[in-house]
Copies of this chain bind each other. A is one copy, B any other.
Amino acid sequence: MKLVKNAAGRLIPEEIDGRKLLPFQGAFADPIYHQNRRKYAPPIPRTHPEWLTGEKKLCANLEDAIKKSGLQSGMTISFHHHLRNGDFVVNMVLEACEKLGIKDLTLAPTALFPVHKPVIDFIKRGVVKNIQGSMNGPVGEFVSYGGLPTTAILRTHGGRVRAIEDGDLHIDVAFIAAPCADDYGNANGVYGPSACGPLAYSYVDAMYADKVVVITDNLVEYPCLPISIPSTNVDYVAVVDRIGDPEGIMSGTLRITKSPTRLHIAKLAAQFIHESPYYRDGFSFQTGAGGISLAVTKFLGEYMEEDGVQASFINGGITKFSVELFKKGIVRKLFDGQVFDPVAIRSFRDDIWHQETPMTMYANIHSKGCLVNRQDIGFLGATEVDVDFNVNVNTHSDGLLLHGIGGHTDVAAGAQLAMIVVPSYRKRIPVIRKSVTTITTPGETIDVIVTERGIAINPLRKDLVEHFKNSTLPIKDIHEIHKEVMKICGGEPEPPKTTDRIIALIEYRDGTIIDVVKQVAR
């Protein structure tokens, strides 16, 4: 296998599983755009009225829908993860496929969760051959040890929608779990026992998949409003008992960190933002659902309330904490790709200025203008960060691939101030490292790293370095923080013991390969 060093310094094979790879060429190089290609063109469909043809979209059951969809062995099927760790649909569809004798499938979910552990058995039994999507937890671990017979592909939220729209990820059949749907396929996520808020992840699947099956446990009278997924993109509808478990759908345990170290990090981050040139009326930011991120949101909200400063919007993952700022009038609008709690669902359902964000609107570099490009500030997490500001969110330092990318890389590229908020080490394992195990997000798109030991500004951001030169904040050189961490942790951890086999590609948002993940040796 011939390897090429990419612009992030990682060795990338020229080809894998028969696919020619483009090595990463820099955060904004975007070689696919320069190939002057066209978007993927789905086949022209048609429908006549049911009263004329007798053909109904509503199927007898899930198996019937799968049969009618024409799904065959070797094809690609897709799913969204709005039901998170409460999703019943991925396992249910794979079970039905196995019953129907369909195998060698490529799974293209937006993300898998611990609830999808049975996917491991479907892989072992040959029902699933490849995964292109985030794998949180057990499936990721299984793949890390070489369990998948092919190479997995991990993409950002923006990168996945790009791949679909550009025709690099072709979906034969999209299965869309819908908390509320009608018999013509109009669907939303805001009503019913499995309510999950937006269905934003699936919007692109519905538009570009050859066939689309909506699976619901809450069939309502036509027309189902509001419409997140329109009937114009749906071929079949199947009703099942339950699509999900509300306990697993809602994070439930969402709470602001209580760790003094993490609260300290969040305070430093909020203070940095407060002193930055981006803090002004009408600024915007993105929050996540992590404990530190929630704390930053809280502290930032306190500053804003005190200063009488309003944000124009929060780009989320929306939580009750964001909704609170919105209801108080501190934040004028909310953009929402996924919600994390019932308060956020209700706000999403009822507030006109709490807007659903299909992923192309959220983060597609190959759109004419996505949301992350308009964000002032994004605070993001990491498993590791290195002295070149590269960020790893996928693997741990033992090499295990346990997390997806989400919108991390997209936000880092788009936001004017991309900020990593992390402890400098966790359980004696350094987070700040000389070189990250896996590069998820290139250092050139990260502006600031905030740790409990100090704040490192990327030297590429001369303007920020200058702006903060008289600040009382603990601004430090990243190498200095790294040195302190090395002292505490007793040096860099052992490199992961891996074989030569590449088990996963980390695809940058523009479709190039920024890094590979190797099989962990047992």
**A-side interface residues toward B, CB under 8 Å?**
28, 30, 32-33, 36-52, 57, 165-166, 184-185, 212, 221-223, 225-227, 230-235, 282, 312-313, 333, 335, 350, 352-353, 355, 360-361, 364-374, 413-414, 416
Contact = CB atoms under 8 A, between A and B. Distances in A.
Contacts of A233: 367-368
B184 A369 contact: yes
A366 B38 contact: no
Contact of A231 (B37, B43, B333, B369): B369
B231 A368 contact: yes
A369 B48 CA distance: 8
Majority SS at the chain A contact face: loop
Nearest to A37: B44
Given A44-B165, A47-B373, 19 more contacts: A33-B44, A33-B46, A37-B43, A45-B366, A45-B367, A46-B365, A46-B366, A47-B370, A48-B373, A185-B369, A221-B312, A222-B374, A223-B312, A223-B313, A226-B352, A227-B355, A230-B361, A232-B361, A232-B364
A48 B32 contact: no
Number of copies: 2
A34 to B, nearest CB: 9
A230 B203 CA distance: 14
Given A49-B373, A49-B416, A366 B44 contact: yes
Contacts of A355: 223, 225-227
B43 A374 contact: no
A40 B185 CA distance: 24
Contacts of A374: 49, 184, 222-223
Given A43-B36, A355-B226, A369-B57, A282 B221 contact: yes
A335 to B, nearest CB: 7
Contacts of A42: 38-39
A497 B164 CA distance: 55
Contacts of A57: 369
A39 to B, nearest CB: 5
A502 to B, nearest CB: 27
Nearest to A313: B223
Contacts of A333: 223, 225
B43 A38 contact: yes
9 contacts: A28-B48, A39-B42, A44-B166, A47-B368, A47-B373, A185-B369, A223-B335, A225-B333, A231-B370
Nearest to A222: B374
A316 B166 CA distance: 35
Contacts of A360: 232
B47 A232 contact: no
Pairs of residues from A and B, 8 with the lowest C-beta to C-beta distance, nearest first: A232-B367, A41-B41, A38-B41, A49-B373, A231-B369, A33-B46, A47-B369, A39-B41
A369 B232 contact: yes
